[in-house]
Amino acid sequence: MDTSVPSPFVNGETLKMFVGRRVRTVVQVQRNESGVLVVQSTDGHQLTIRGAPGAPEAPHYIEVMGIPDSDQSIRAESWTDFGENFDPVPFNGLCKLASDKYKYLFL
Amino acid sequence: MYGGGGQYDGGGGQYDGNGGAASANNLFGGGGFMPSQTTNTPEGGGGGGGFNKGRGSQTLMPLTVKQLMDASQTNDDKSSFAVNGWEVSTVRLVGRMLNKNERVTDVTFVLDDGTGRIEVNRWENETSDTEEMKLVNDGDYVIVNGGLKGFQGKRHVVAYSVRLVTNYNDITHHFLYCIYVHLDLAKAKRLASQPQANASTSTWNQAPLLNNQSASGNTAGKELTDLVMSVFHDPVLGNMEHGVSVDEVASRLKLSDAVARSTVQHLADIGNLYPTIDDNHFKSALNG
């Protein structure tokens, strides 16, 4: 995994700010359509994830690191199973704070 | 859950850092800070000197790697650092482990927390250390506690604890905590530099800092919150099962119901009070 640049935390809303840049996000798996994961971001946007073979089934949360190729899809480089007990609400709050007001602590 | 008590605990009002963990920084005795000789502009009040030390040098501070890299140096030999003007020695980082390299007496790896990368070194003096490091591997999310060190211009962490993340909400919590601590320290610094002749503000005991958190930091607001808190800390009232009601606060302090209610609500919002049986009854979160 070659992450030589910082990868910001994003949610559905802030994803569009980082198209083409490596990001990390936590999403909830909804279904797997022949290799393409359909997931829900922590702020309720539906996204597609390509390139995450072996990802767990719904309703697990996964952290995806990759490069968004549009404001609704990410090409994954790696993923981590965050289990079922992940709380999306504080993560969503973190994404908002980290991309805006407290960006200087993160990027 | 955590072995050391060295947790940054803004809620309890104590920056009581040293939980007896074998921090390598204890060797320095928290030194490397020469108050009158730093070339940096000293803050007014506070502990005197260029950087606020207080008990901060023993505090375990949650940081992002970016904050670590941005930390300024407190003295010429580049061995101690300050974040937000507060001297830091022991830090907590949460991120992914990479390039784990097991050597004879230590283990080195790179920690990538999404804001940057930093080298971490974990000395293995006892079998418990070796056992601990066997549990974590490349790609795992880990919590690292250790001392921040600089050597020849490069920063790295000497870890005394490396644990696997088991509850992934810890990751969210860590970063939110970093933001919270950052804000708290920035506020403390601002308050310390205000010329307040306030007897209860002692720099040794950070607990009164919570009472200073009125919305605009003015002394009138602070006195009001202090008065209200003193009602909740009253030995008789504070021990009542359901706490103290807002009406009781109003009648004791001869305040209008609206003023009492808004002060109590403000104190509840910042975490000094919590509601008990209903929205009218509160207890203090600070005592006991």
Going by their DSSP bridges, the two strands B60-62 and A46-50 should be labelled as unpaired
pLDDT for A3-39, tens place per residue? 457 889 999 999 998 999 999 999 999 999 888 999 9
Among A81, A89, A100, A88, CA closest to A8:
A100
Going by their DSSP bridges, the two strands B60-62 and B90-102 should be labelled as parallel
Task: Report the pLDDT value the prediction gives residue B53, as an integer from 0 to 100.
Answer: 53
pLDDT for B35-44, tens place per residue? 433 344 433 3
Nearest CB to A3 within list B112, B175, B182: B112
Is pLDDT larger for residue B223 or for residue B55? B223
Q: Which residues of B touch A6 (CB under 8 A)?
A: 66, 114-116
pLDDT for B14-37, tens place per residue? 343 444 444 444 444 444 444 433
Asked whether residue B262 carries a pLDDT value surpassing 50, the answer given is yes
User: Nearest residue of B to residue A107 by CA position?
Assistant: B115
Interface probe, candidates A14, A18, A82, chain B, greatest B C-beta count within 10 A: A82
Q: Which residues of A touch B64 (CB under 8 A)?
A: 105-106
pLDDT for B193-242, tens place per residue? 775 544 444 444 444 444 444 444 445 567 778 888 888 888 777 778 88
B2-20 average pLDDT score: 44
Instruction: Report the percentage of chain B scoring pLDDT > 90.
Output: 28
B178-197 average pLDDT score: 80
Hey, are the CB atoms on A86 and B168 less than 8 Å from each other?
yes
Asked whether residue A104 carries a pLDDT value surpassing 50, the answer given is yes
User: Nearest residue of B to residue A65 by CA position?
Assistant: B114
Hey, are the CB atoms on B172 and A87 less than 8 Å from each other?
yes
A65-76 exposure pattern, b = at least 16 Cβ within 10 A, e = fewer: bbbbeeeebbeb
Q: What is the pTM of this model?
A: 0.63
> Tokens 């910042």 label which residue?
B270
Q: Which two tokens stand for residue B9?
A: 């605990």
Q: How confident is the model at residue B169 (pLDDT cuts 50, 70, 90)?
A: very high
Q: What is the CA radius of gyration of chain B?
A: 22
Hey, are the CB atoms on A105 and B64 less than 8 Å from each other?
yes
How many cross-chain Cβ pairs, A to B, lie less than 8 Å apart? 60
Instruction: Report the percentage of chain B scoring pLDDT > 70.
Output: 68
Among B124, B118, B58, B127, CA closest to B87:
B58
B12 residue type, one letter: G
Residue B206, chain A, CB below 8 Å: the answer is: no
Asked whether residue B287 carries a pLDDT value surpassing 80, the answer given is no
Q: Which H helix or E strand runs over A64?
A: strand A61-70
Residue A100, chain B, CB below 8 Å: the answer is: no
pLDDT for A40-60, tens place per residue? 999 999 999 999 888 898 899
Q: Phi, psi (5° rounding) for residue B284?
A: -80, 140
Task: Report the pLDDT value the prediction gives residue B254, as an integer from 0 to 100.
Answer: 83
Coil, helix or strand for A93? helix
Mean pLDDT score across all residues of chain B: 75
Residue B43, chain A, CB below 8 Å: the answer is: no
User: Nearest residue of B to residue A8 by CA position?
Assistant: B114
Task: Report the pLDDT value the prediction gives residue A10, as an integer from 0 to 100.
Answer: 93
Q: How confident is the model at residue B118 (pLDDT cuts 50, 70, 90)?
A: very high
Task: Give the whole-angstrom CA distance, residue A105 versus residue B153.
Answer: 21
Task: Report the pLDDT value the prediction gives residue B277, as an integer from 0 to 100.
Answer: 85
Hey, are the CB atoms on A94 and B172 less than 8 Å from each other?
yes
Which ipTM was obtained for this model? 0.92
Asked whether residue B163 carries a pLDDT value surpassing 70, the answer given is yes
Residue A39, chain B, CB below 8 Å: the answer is: no
User: DSSP assignment, residue A55?
Assistant: P
User: Nearest residue of B to residue A86 by CA position?
Assistant: B169
Is pLDDT larger for residue B150 or for residue B36? B150
Residue B172, chain A, CB below 8 Å: the answer is: yes
Task: Report the pLDDT value the prediction gives residue A34, as an integer from 0 to 100.
Answer: 87
Task: Give the whole-angstrom CA distance, residue B169 versus residue A89.
Answer: 10
